[in-house]
Amino acid sequence: MGKVVALFGDDISTDVIYPGRYMATVLPSETPQFAFANEKELNKALTSGEIPKGSVLVAGNNFGCGSSREQAVSCLVGYDLAVVAKGIARIFLQNSINLGLKIFIVPEIEASEGDELELGLEAVVNNTTGKTFAVEKLPAARQAIIDAGGLVAYTRKRVLEAAAR
């Protein structure tokens, strides 16, 4: 369960999520401080710890469009945020899988800031309104990578399992 802490419309670019002027910062431990740097209130709430881990961003279609910058995903992972969007841009989707960002593609999502969402692989339930919304399931292999915490963690797990046999 997570609380909706921010709502976004359609076509939110990676430059909104992680502004280009911070591209020299690539360490996943350092990127979170620049999440939504141009959205001063949201950035301050994140960096001050006001927004708890497990919180949810809700967006329209084409979330994460624009450049292929991986930092736009790693900065969200750093706060353990989940993204529920009507649609996610292709490269952002692949970066999310690779870095283990919890993403849910929910074309009919309806939510307001402050709503409590129950996030599941089949459905997202808005516990505030009582409405349930179908999730577009990712292929099992891609979901397994997210569930493992990203491609590096997934690969490490698979190598260790193979070595144990």
* Per-residue pLDDT tens digits for 119-137: 999 999 999 999 999 999 9
**In the prediction, which pLDDT does 44 show?**
98
Q: Break the chain into its structural domains and give their ranges.
A: 2-164
CATH topology of domain 2-164: Aconitase; domain 4 (3.20.19)
With beta carbons less than 8 A apart as the criterion, state whether 96 and 71 touch.
no
**pLDDT tens profile 38-79:** 999 999 999 999 999 999 999 999 999 998 899 999 999 999
Q: With bands split at pLDDT 50, 70 and 90, how would you rate the model's confidence at 165?
A: confident
pLDDT at residue 27, as a whole number: 85
Confidence of residue 89 (pLDDT cuts 50, 70, 90): very high
CA dist 53 → 62, 79, 89, 94, 137 (Å):
24, 6, 24, 22, 23
Give the residue-averaged pLDDT of 21-30: 87
Q: What is the pTM of this model?
A: 0.94
Segment 27-40 shows an average pLDDT of: 93
Q: Looking at residue 26, what is its pLDDT?
A: 79
DSSP notation for 69-130 = -THHHHHHHTTT-EEEES-B-HHHHHHHHHHT-EEEE-TT----TT-EEEE-SSEEEETTTT
